[in-house]
């Protein structure tokens, strides 16, 4: 059996946990609840999964410059059996995204977005070009490039100038190539089995959730409900010092069946638009 994709996803998970301190403890919380739920269960519920927390999807971000654009980042996945799914536009954020899915339903979908750099100011374009120009030619060929972190040097002034114009541009500059979130599939949890109970449970445990447009993004009508934590601040090294800035976050998704009875596999642009703010330094 080809283990490449499993190895890649495991490497991405380990890298991600370092930047999402909440994810480790929330994952453990759900694993514990679902382990005991499946032990107590008398029926053989299809959602009793012995504490195994299933990922619905992961997400990556990039700039649309040729060396690192969405297609380049997608290659590690498309080379391993993933196929293109839907495409999504976020004109106000100057972003374009696609999702990729694998014939093996156990594997998470992959949501990759890219910043339309040419739509930013001349100054921001210069900054981003000079970051991307620092990448060693050929480095993006490695299948592990998509969890290799930041492939360039960055100073706080460049970060601040990018941040003033685009939170997304600044996040990519600071963190580079890695999963910015993993997503728990609520469909695979025996408990909690709905997004409202899940949000309440997390808030009761003191986690801060993204409330842009309300805690729950989407609805059964659009076949997808989502919520997420706000990324906690973590310490990042810049060439001229350290700064505490928002790192990675954890998302929760519940999918509903389409007309043919299978679960909807796409994303919802209006909801995704609000999930992007999970790494923001400023409220939106």
**Sites of contact with Ni ion (CB under 5 A):** 59, 251
Applying CB under 6 A, which part among 13-21, 116-124, 231-239, 264-272 lies near ligand OOG? 264-272
Residue 61 binds which one of Ni ion, ligand OOG, none, with CB within 5 to 8 A depending on kind?
ligand OOG
**Min. distance of Cβ 275 from ligand OOG in angstroms?**
4
In 3D space, the residue among 164, 175, 165, 147 whose CA is nearest the CA of residue 238 turns out to be 175
Taking CB atoms, the residue at the shortest distance from ligand OOG is 272
Q: Residues 6 or more apart from 10 whose CB is under 8 A from it?
A: none
Report the chain's terminal Cα–Cα distance, integer Å: 46
Q: Which is nearer to ligand OOG, 127 or 280 (CB)?
A: 280
Applying CB under 6 A, which part among 4-12, 71-79, 193-201, 269-277 lies near ligand OOG? 269-277
Residue 271 binds which one of ligand OOG, Ni ion, none, with CB within 5 to 8 A depending on kind?
ligand OOG
Tracing tokens 């996040």 back to the chain, one arrives at 171
Q: Which is nearer to ligand OOG, 31 or 222 (CB)?
A: 222
Q: What is the β-pairing status of strands 95-101 and 83-90?
A: antiparallel
Applying CB under 6 A, among 166, 180, 210, 227 the residue interacting with ligand OOG is 180
Tracing tokens 């909690």 back to the chain, one arrives at 192
- The b-or-e profile of 79-88 (16+ CB within 10 A means b, else e) is ebebeebbeb
Tracing tokens 């709905």 back to the chain, one arrives at 194
Residue 276 binds which one of Ni ion, ligand OOG, none, with CB within 5 to 8 A depending on kind?
ligand OOG
The site that binds ligand OOG (CB under 6 A) totals a number of residues, namely 12
**Min. distance of Cβ 268 from Ni ion in angstroms?**
10
Return d(Cα 152, Cα 128) in angstroms, integer.
10
**Interaction of residue 272 with ligand OOG, rule CB under 6 A:** yes
Return d(Cα 183, Cα 36) in angstroms, integer.
22
Q: Which is nearer to Ni ion, 159 or 252 (CB)?
A: 252
In 3D space, the residue among 81, 84, 107 whose CA is nearest the CA of residue 97 turns out to be 84
CA dihedral 174, 175, 181, 182 (to 10 degrees): -170
Return d(Cα 65, Cα 238) in angstroms, integer.
23
**Interaction of residue 101 with ligand OOG, rule CB under 6 A:** no
Q: Which is nearer to Ni ion, 127 or 178 (CB)?
A: 178
Binding site for ligand OOG (CB under 6 A): 59, 61, 111, 113, 180, 226, 251, 267, 271-272, 275-276
């Amino acid at each position: 059996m080809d283990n490449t994709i499993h190895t890649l996803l495991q490497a991405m998970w380990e890298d991600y946990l370092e930047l999402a301190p909440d994810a480790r403890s929330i994952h453990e919380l759900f694993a514990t609840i679902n382990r005991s739920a499946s032990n107590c269960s008398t029926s053989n519920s299809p959602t009793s999964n012995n504490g195994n927390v299933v990922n619905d999807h992961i997400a990556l971000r990039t700039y649309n410059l040729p060396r690192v654009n969405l297609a380049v980042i997608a290659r590690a996945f498309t080379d391993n059996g993933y196929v293109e799914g839907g495409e999504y536009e976020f004109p106000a954020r100057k972003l374009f995204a696609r999702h990729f899915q694998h014939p093996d339903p156990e594997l998470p979908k992959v949501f990759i977005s890219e910043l339309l750099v040419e739509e930013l100011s001349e100054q921001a374009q210069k900054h981003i070009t000079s970051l991307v120009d620092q990448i060693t030619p050929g480095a993006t060929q490695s299948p592990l490039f998509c969890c290799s972190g930041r492939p360039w040097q960055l100073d706080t002034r460049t970060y601040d100038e990018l941040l003033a114009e685009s939170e997304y541009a600044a996040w990519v500059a600071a963190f580079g190539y890695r999963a910015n979130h993993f997503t728990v599939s609520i469909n695979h949890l025996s408990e909690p089995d709905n997004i409202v109970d899940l949000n309440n449970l997390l808030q009761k445990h003191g986690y801060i959730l993204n409330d842009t447009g309300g805690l729950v993004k989407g609805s059964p009508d659009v076949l997808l409900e989502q919520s997420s934590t706000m990324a906690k601040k973590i310490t990042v090294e810049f060439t001229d010092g350290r700064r505490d800035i928002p790192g990675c976050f954890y998302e929760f998704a519940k999918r509903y069946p389409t007309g043919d009875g299978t679960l909807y596999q796409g994303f919802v642009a209006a909801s995704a638009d609000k999930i992007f703010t999970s790494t923001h330094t400023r409220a939106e």
